[in-house]
Amino acid sequence: MSRWIGTANHGFASYAMEELRRLFTDIKFQQLSSGEVFSFEVPGDREQVFTDIARNEPIFLRHLQPVDRTMPITGDTDDLQELTDIVRHARKVFEGKRTAVHLRRVENSPFSYSAADTKAIVDAVLTEIDSESSLQQPEQILSLYASKDSLLIGWGTPRELLSDWPGGAVRFQREESQVSRAKFKLLEAERTFGLNLAHYSHALDIGAAPGGWTSLLLERGLQVTAIDPAELHPSLISNRRLTYLKKNASEVKFSPDSFDLLVCDMSWSPMQMCKLVLDLSDALASGGYAIITVKLMHRKPLQTIRDVMQKLQEVFEIRKAKQLFHNRDEITLLLEKR
């Protein structure tokens, strides 16, 4: 039997739990933070669970943490002493590797140390056991979750934990000239899906206004065709690599294979969005990728996702489906044109 902590976007934990229930038999759940963080127990060991989740990664599970050690919280200096002893005893896990330390806590947890103080103490121990403290591109992550009575401790690689950010809460710094926060969704998709947008040359942005995704594609050096009857941000209009079609997407046609990337972040119903993307899919070259968001407007998001994916599979291979941290009532799909 192994114990784990799962994290989902606020309000979507029940869907993450439902996906896990379909993946594992005899699974037991406990809520840790309403609608967002939960623990679960399954019969398999940690390596088997990591393997099963990597093979069929849940859409709504944003972050995963094994509970390798459980430490009662006393609320005094003994907590840090016991934590450092645990790290020393796990020397083989961290030795010779770049290690990040992540602390999350429930409200009113008796664990009295801040993330910064905890990190400073643990970093000193990591140095002692020949592990380099590193928040950037860590090879191992030490995850700490301070509950109302216990410190739940686990470790794993960023790939195993599904993110190298605490709880999968990916943070980007807002730029002064940023067109919209929607840019963060495409930045996170690029990172999560292992893409480099600069490797593409011609992108089609369906439903582009006000231009958050278009702005990032232009920054990456692409030629961008943006379609939307609404106005794009004035800062984009003069860009020589932008073609702006102030029309409904249903009114335009392109020559086959005009683009190697298609993106769509429209606030339309899922099936309307799906129809528009399929109608314009001939313009995307075979082997080209599409990044689209699916708005979950109904009470049965899992069924909505199944319906949309079934329709899109007429033309695309579904490479990944994920609710990203910057998604709200939606998920993001990565598709490859057949």
Q: Is there a single domain that holds both residue 88 and residue 51?
A: yes
Q: How confident is the model at residue 180 (pLDDT cuts 50, 70, 90)?
A: confident
Total tally of structural domains belonging to the chain: 2
For the stretch 224-232, contacts whose Cβ atoms lie closer than 8 Å and that sit 24 or more positions apart, written own/partner, are 225/254, 225/258, 225/259, 227/252, 232/208
Q: Is there a single domain that holds both residue 190 and residue 304?
A: yes
End position of a domain, from candidates 168, 190, 208: 168
Is residue 318 within 8 Å of residue 283, measured between CB atoms?
A: no
How high is the pLDDT of residue 135? Answer: 85
Q: Is there a single domain that holds both residue 186 and residue 308?
A: yes
Q: Is there a single domain that holds both residue 317 and residue 225?
A: yes
Average per-residue pLDDT in the chain?
A: 95
> E strands, 162-283, where?
202-206, 223-227, 242-245, 259-264
- What number is the average pLDDT over the span 77-102? 96
Complete edge-to-edge strand list for the sheet that includes strand 140-146: 69-72, 150-156, 140-146, 98-105, 132-133
Q: Is there a single domain that holds both residue 152 and residue 117?
A: yes
What CATH number is attached to the domain comprising 289? 3.40.50.150
Q: Is there a single domain that holds both residue 156 and residue 200?
A: no
Q: Is there a single domain that holds both residue 220 and residue 161?
A: no
Rounded CA separation 232/210 (Å): 4
Residue range of the domain that includes 292: 182-337
Residue 161 backbone phi and psi in degrees, to 5? -85, 0
> E strands, the chain, where?
2-7, 28-33, 37-42, 63-66, 69-72, 98-105, 132-133, 140-146, 150-156, 202-206, 223-227, 242-245, 259-264, 284-295, 316-322, 330-337
Kindly state the DSSP code that residue 239 receives in the 8-state scheme. -
CA distances from 96 to 93, 127, 136, 287, 326 (A): 9, 10, 16, 40, 33
Q: Is there a single domain that holds both residue 162 and residue 213?
A: no
Model pLDDT for residues 7-63, shown as the tens digit of each residue = 999 999 999 999 999 999 999 999 998 889 999 999 989 999 999 999 999 999 999
End position of a domain, from candidates 168, 195, 212: 168
Catalytic residues: 295
Tell me if 228 is assigned to some domain.
Answer: yes
Tell me if 175 is assigned to some domain.
Answer: no
